[in-house]
Amino acid sequence: MTAAPPTARPASARTAVAALVGALLLLLLPGVSSARAAAPAPPPVKDGFGLTRVGAVTGSATNFVLTVTTPQVAGEHAIRILLPDDYADRPDKRYPVLYFLHGASDNPANPGLAYPALTAATSMITVIPDGGLRGWYTDWLDGGTAAGPQNWQTFHLNQVVPFVDANLRTLTDRKHRAVGGLSMGGFGALHYAQARPELFGQVLTMSGANDLSADEMVIRGAVVGTLTNAGTVLCAPSGGQPCGFDFGPTVSSDAVFGTPYPVFGADWRWNAADPTAHAGLLADTGIAVYTGNGNGNPAGMEFWAEGTAKRFTDRLAALGIPHRYVNYGNGAGWGPACDGGHSSGCWAQDLVDYVPRLEAAFAA
């Protein structure tokens, strides 16, 4: 009697067996199981110090953006955090921190602010907090403008700094905390280092508004221009993209520091915030100043930034305060993308020069 042929397995059964065998083989192959594992996530962050997170954290485990609200400043505010590659693998290790302050009309949600030299840092955390389109890193004199509350200094120094220290493994003494920035943020860095010397042991200003005195009325005019939106006449149709000269609701020229006009001492608040006038407060702080010359063109912002850099460093020299001053002129030899202007190509090279020096200072 001939044996009956075996009954064929249903196709679904054959598929299930093949999948099981395939899975077992994958587990035996080196590196495959880890490659299929979930991607590392940013560390958990809890609300506190007046900050409330909204929305999801976006980005990678080492370069991510979280968004917060605070009664101190109207609206929602992005904070970009850059962690060294070994952060998740070294739960016993704490890291120094650089607070990096952006310029006018920018936002930490812009990935371009994560400059290559910052993301390449191997031994420090970088925090890039929102400073507003024209927040000027201070608590505004007029808190009742159409822009709403604008207490940027309180937000950054009394909220963001302790929030970061509570949520990340930071070294919290001043010698392991730095503040730096570019353009508007260059002023902010000097202003914060002078206002709270117990917080910051290192300060960096790149193409900054380093002098707010009446000797630099063009700089005062630039500040006022951001408040009054004077540049919006230069805005053109842009396919729905925001105009870089539109800084939000138009407010008074006096909203931040009071009147800018040096008449009978009425501009005293500008003088009180002037980094050059108070350079002596940085006597125990590591200082770095970078600028180009704007190719000698007064129509460019870097031409005037160079003037404030010279005034500031001259004052440091007169006081006998050590500092690093780099004037790369027209940008020749200062990185392939630097033209000596008020531009990210030059700032990227500034950071290539500065970040290793800062990490060495932290280590020392």
Model pLDDT for residues 123-154, shown as the tens digit of each residue: 999 999 999 999 999 999 999 999 999 999 99
pLDDT reported for residue 25: 40
pLDDT reported for residue 43: 95
Question: What region does 336 belong to: left with phi over 0, alpha with psi -120 to 50, or beta?
Answer: alpha
- Judge residue 12's burial from the number of C-beta atoms within 10 Å of its C-beta, 0-12 exposed, 13-18 middle, 19 or more buried: exposed
Task: Report which residue type is found at 164.
Answer: V
Residue 14 has pLDDT above 60, yes or no: no
Chain segment 217-273, per-residue pLDDT in tens: 999 999 999 999 876 656 665 556 666 678 889 999 999 999 999 999 999 999 999
Percent with pLDDT over 70 in the chain: 86
* Token output for 67: 């968004």
Q: Comparing C-alpha atoms, which of 173, 62, 120, 197 is closest to residue 359? A: 120
171 — pLDDT class (breaks 50, 70, 90):
very high
DSSP secondary structure of 291-347: E--GGG-TTSHHHHHHHHHHHHHHHHHHHT---EEEE-TT-TTS-TT--SSSSHHHH
Cα–Cα distance, 205 to 67 (Å, whole number): 26
What are the residues facing 151 on neighbouring strands? 139
pLDDT reported for residue 353: 98
Chain segment 187-226, per-residue pLDDT in tens: 999 999 999 999 999 999 999 999 999 999 999 999 999 9
Phi, psi of 363 (to 5 degrees): -65, -30
pLDDT reported for residue 244: 65
Tokens 């609200």 belong to 69
pLDDT reported for residue 233: 59
Helix residue ranges, H only, 128-232:
152-153, 161-167, 184-195, 217-228
Cα–Cα distance, 93 to 5 (Å, whole number): 67
Phi, psi of 203 (to 5 degrees): -140, 140
**Looking at residue 151, what DSSP letter applies?**
B
Query: DSSP 3-state assignment of 180?
Result: strand
Q: Comparing C-alpha atoms, which of 139, 159, 137, 160 is closest to residue 149? A: 139
Tokens 């990340």 belong to 168
Cα–Cα distance, 205 to 163 (Å, whole number): 24
35 — pLDDT class (breaks 50, 70, 90):
very low
Cα–Cα distance, 55 to 231 (Å, whole number): 33
Greatest mean pLDDT range, 37-51, 244-258, 282-296? 282-296
Cα–Cα distance, 129 to 188 (Å, whole number): 12
Q: Which residues contact 344 (CB under 8 A, 6 or more apart)?
A: 112, 115, 337
Indicate the helix (H) or strand (E) that contains 65.
strand 63-70
For the chain, give the longest Cα–Cα distance. Answer: 121
Could you tell me which residue, 67 or 27, shows the higher pLDDT? Answer: 67
Average pLDDT over residues 292-314: 97
Task: Report which residue type is found at 53.
Answer: R
pLDDT reported for residue 17: 43
The pTM score is 0.88
pLDDT reported for residue 2: 40
Chain segment 60-69, per-residue pLDDT in tens: 999 999 999 9
Percent with pLDDT over 90 in the chain: 84
Q: Comparing C-alpha atoms, which of 341, 353, 307, 283 is closest to residue 209? A: 307
Chain segment 312-359, per-residue pLDDT in tens: 999 999 999 999 999 999 999 999 999 999 999 999 999 999 999 999
